[in-house]
Amino acid sequence: MKIPFGLPRPPRAPIRPPAPRALYLLFATTVLASVPHLLMQPPWLGAVFVAIIAWRLVIARRGDTPPRALVRAALSVAMVALVIVQYQTIFGRTAGSALLVSFAALKILETSSLRDAMFCNILVTIVVVAAFLFDQSPATAAWGLACVLLVIVNFTLLVSRGSFTAGRALGLTTRIVALGLPIALVAYVLFPRIEGSLWGIAEQTNDAVTGLSDRVEPGSISRLNLDEAVAFRVDFQGDAPPRPERYWRLLVLEQFDGRAWSRSSRNARRVQIKPGEQAVIYRYDLTLEPTDKRWLPVLELPLSIEGSGRINELALARARRPVSERRRYRAASSPATYLSEDVATGAGANRPPHVTDEVLALARSFAADGGGAEAVTSRILSYFREQPFHYTLTPPPTGEAPVHDFLFETRRGYCEHYASAFAALMRAAGFEARVVLGYQGGEFNPSGGYYIVRQYDAHAWAEIRVPGRGWRRIDPTAAVAPERVDMGLEALRRLASAGALGSELDAESIRALLQVDWLDARVRQLVLLGDLLTYQWNTWVMAYGPEQQQLLLRQLGIRAPNWTWMILALTASVSAFVLVTWVLLSGAGRQRASPQKYYTRFLRKLARAGFATRRSEGPRDLARRAAARFPRAQGQIESITGHYAALVYAPAGRARLADLRKEVRQLRL
Amino acid sequence: MSPPPELSEVHAAAPATDALRTDSRKVYILPTRFGVLFGGALLLMLLVSVNYNNGLGHLFTFLLAGVAVVAMHYTQRNLVGIRVSLEAGRPVFAGEQAHAAVRIRDELRRERRAVWLRGAGGEHVFDLAAGGEKRIELPFHPPRRGVVALPDTYLVSVYPMGLFCAWTRILRGTPRQLVYPRPAPPLPLPVTGGGDDAGDVSGGRSGQGDFDNLRDHRLGDPLSRVHWRTSARGTGLKTKVFGGEGRRNLVLRFADTAGDTETRLSILCRWVLDAQRANLEYALQLPGRQLESGRGLGHQQRCLELLALYKPVS
């Protein structure tokens, strides 16, 4: 090896066979690191893995040598073949994970030399990080940290070869990690994040994402009403709108086939929406759970959205690609009464199929008294309120013509029934109307100061177009069950379980019904605290992408953090931390505690008190003279001199040095 | 013609010990192959984390990188502030193993772990308690006779993680090891002077047999050879001189040997050893340099040193 700069040739790195103890710990670490992979792989892989480990242990117990290279090569080929049979590929996350743990097991099988052991230990770090591709929960992070600590312990045990107890190795490991952590955190914050991928993500991870679909038909939302999964969390800067104003729009459904509402097939353009005059503007950070959809929920009329989100002409926000990872974005919205005229008009007020003559007749009766869309709307809502319509969490099934069945037969429904029936009636009456799908409300988490919107907050409402003013939100459900909008679905469910849903109750009795006992309240508090931790974790770990990075850096006062800036800052701060580490470890920064250092302080104190030291005299003569000059401090002076003499002539313990330091500090002349 | 080497010169050129303290400017550090491999693994992790936009992946990649950086500091720190002194061992014959004694002391009150002391001929791994001291004999094979520099010796450490290898060269060049020529295979002593029964020289005669002569006792003569009867007469101690010793007047001459210089020196070395074992009195003659006849271990050492330091006349 040629060494540049005229450095002396490095000697060969020392090699010694690893101690058996170190090998066993390495095997244990490898197994621990492989567990999360094995749990999501087919059982045969776990069985093979366990078999290979057992084989290695038998070898170790008998003192045999590991199988020969030919056998190992055959095994490797067999494992690759098995993975290909299972997944038809060796690329991608899942197949890659299977290959990785297979190789880890085979590596263990052959490991007996230091070289193999070091290699295996490095392989373990890859196995650990690969597991994060499947799960990034705090529990996984804790497991990962444990694995990393074990890996470092393994390194130290392998290198120090038996001269180290595992406990002391762990102590050293903790110090190393503690010193490495600041470097890691700075790099984590400043390393420029990029949107999307380097070579594309072939497969989707979220196999069973619950949530809204892009159709509204009977049952499409009510199936979610027990789903407590978090849809997104919102952190408002400044005031939040009151609950009845918190409508999160997700989808606008303009196609109605008489049964289901669905999206129209037009290509939405990107538009710039201007706020109305005197509009209240709410700014918020929204952390969306993965949906595998491009929909980004926003409050009512979105004015701006940061990052890669776009606002289209339906006043909806869309991501560039499906949201497969948790994602955070900042947006501003204005919950105006009318969405601005910019928002495109929908499909016409055509008579949809499956709308019966009775429905048509009913719609015409509402329109007969004249008036615009708003007048007709209030008539329909009064009709819902006055006729025996009921809001229920368990709507009865409807037939081929759901709007007809609901209006004239069951009259019991969930939000989708009301929204759908209302919009259908409006259209039948000759007005433009559409169904909007999204979430309504959200629970406030007082410990974190943010709102949690869950899947059961999914809601459907309607929008009507008032010519000259724009689209206006109408929530027919609120006409029937104002509690849904005022208190949220959770409260509604509790009322329902008390049998009080739909009964005429005054506010006082409703509050009494909703009163929860002390224990429930504490449990709820704990749940919310847990959610806060999850939320912070999501914000800083799982959703920490380019958008969140920009947000954070801007909060830290950097106006336009671009790539150049980030790379410079990254280099500078990492170097600074490395330097600090070096100073801490080499002791370059501090003068070593020595008897001379404290004795010099003592002499300085004497000098300040006007006592001249003579070059020719030793400490004892000096002490005698000083004691005569400062009789009150005689004891201290003698004690200091005694400590100093003892330390210089016979290196004594640290305790004595500490005593010297203390007494010099306390000396008053 | 080069002046004959004086022994004082040798000793001046080869101080018994040499000492230095390792300091951070002379401790070099490079990644080991495991370090390079680990770096590759980190790069892979970073690429995968970026590709999948994986927060924990980023965090752990950076954590492992930070750990490696800290480990690098630890590796260097393990070698800085050690006082090393090295002394040459006893003279040896070429082909024999010599031992350099290395004394190692921690001067920074730091515990040292898994430090390798490595020279050309051997290596030794040691731990050192904070402030501790150790003496290690490091074997090496001198390449030739003469005054030989001790081999380059290094302190090496890959502690704590084996990802970086720090090394510092200690004490290049000095001190020196004196190496006698390799003794030739056994062969008869040369026939010199007026000896008639050449070749039959056997040592270990008893002190009671016939002796040929008496001479003044010299330091180094065995007590068994003192002729007490004569000595008791007040003439001072007399030593018995046995058959042939004095008469033969053994002179080991470079000119009596054949072959190249080293072979000749080897033969002379063998003769010196045999003559000493036989307790003969012998002189040594090299071109341009000779030692008067003498005997005893002191004489042998002087002869061997002369052989070790012999420089062929150019």
pLDDT recorded at residue A369: 82
User: Is A119 in contact with B34 (Cβ distance < 8 A)?
Assistant: yes
Residues of chain B with C-beta less than 8 angstroms from the C-beta of A164 = 113
Cα(B242)–Cα(B215) distance, integer angstroms: 11
CB contact under 8 A, A544 and B55: yes
- Same domain? For A234 and A158 the reply is no
For the question of whether the overall pTM of this predicted structure is more than 0.80, the answer is no
Q: Is the pLDDT of residue A649 over 50?
A: yes
Instruction: With respect to residue A408, please indicate whether it lies within any of the assigned structural domains.
Output: yes
- The answer as to whether A417 is a domain residue is yes
Query: Are residues B282 and B164 part of one domain?
Result: no
Q: Looking at the structure, do residues B168 and B26 belong to the same domain, yes or no?
A: yes
Q: Which two tokens mark A600?
A: 């010099």
Q: Which two three-digit tokens encode residue B94?
A: 């070429």
The residue among B179, B195, B229 that closes a domain is B179
Pairing of strands A433-440, A247-253: antiparallel
Mark whether A349 and A439 lie in a shared domain. yes
Q: CB B55 to CB A11 under 8 A?
A: no
Do A137 and A223 belong to one domain?
no
Same domain, yes or no, for A412 and A479?
Answer: yes
Least Cα distance to A96 among A121, A131, A66 occurs for A131
**Percent of all residues in chain A with a pLDDT value above 70, rounded to a whole number:** 86
What pLDDT digit, counting tens, does each position of A345-394 carry?
Answer: 555 555 566 678 888 888 888 888 888 888 999 999 999 988 888 888 77
CA B268 to chain centre: 21
The pLDDT value recorded for residue B241 is 60
Does the residue B74 lie in any domain?
A: yes
- CB spacing of B69 vs A129 below 8 angstroms: no
Query: Residue A361 is part of which domain span?
Result: 215-520
- Asked whether residue B171 falls in the same domain as residue B251, the answer is no
**Do A121 and A42 fall into the same domain?**
yes
Q: What is the pLDDT of residue A7?
A: 47
Residues 161-200 of B with CB under 8 A from A: 161-163, 165, 167, 169
For residues B40-58, give the mean pLDDT: 92
Looking at the structure, tell me whether residues A133 and A219 fall in a common domain.
Answer: no
What is the average pLDDT value for chain B, to the nearest integer? 78
Half-sphere exposure of B184 (CA within 13 A, CB side): 22
B87 Rama sector, left if φ>0, alpha if ψ -120 to 50, beta otherwise: beta
Q: What percent of chain B has pLDDT over 90?
A: 18
Chain B partners within 8 Å of A171 (Cβ): none
Residues B73, A155: contact at Cβ < 8 Å? no
Which of B179, B195, B215 lies at the terminal end of a domain, its last residue? B179
Sheet containing strand B153-157, strands side by side: B28-31, B164-170, B153-157, B112-118, B123-128
Would residue A475 count as lying in a domain? yes
Rounded mean pLDDT, A282-295: 88
Q: What pLDDT, in 10s, does the model give residues A5-50?
A: 444 555 665 667 788 888 899 999 999 999 999 999 999 999 999 9
Q: Which of A68-82, A627-641, A650-664 has the lowest mean pLDDT?
A: A650-664
Residue A582 has pLDDT above 90, yes or no: no
Check whether residue B168 and residue B253 sit in a common domain: no
Domain count, chain A: 3
Rounded to whole angstroms, what are the CA distances from A304 to A236, A283, A309, A553, B238?
15, 9, 9, 20, 120
User: For residue A543, is it within any domain?
Assistant: no
In a domain, A53, yes or no: yes
Which pLDDT band holds residue B196 (cuts at 50, 70, 90)? Answer: very low
Is there a contact between A163 and B48 if contact means CB atoms under 8 Å apart?
no
Give the mean pLDDT of chain A: 83
Query: Which residue, among A114, A159, A654, would best test binding to B if mutated, counting the most B CBs under 10 Å from its CB?
Result: A159
Contact A177 B53 (CB under 8 A): no
Range of the domain at B264: 242-309
Facing residue for B62 by CB, picked from A156, A188, A592: A188
- CA dist A123 and A273 (Å) reads 52
Higher-pLDDT residue of B163, A394: B163
| B166 and B89 in a common domain | yes
For residue A545 the two structure tokens come to 């992408």
C-alpha–C-alpha distance, residues B286 and B295, integer Å = 17
Mark which of B131, B152, B179 sits at the end of a domain: B179
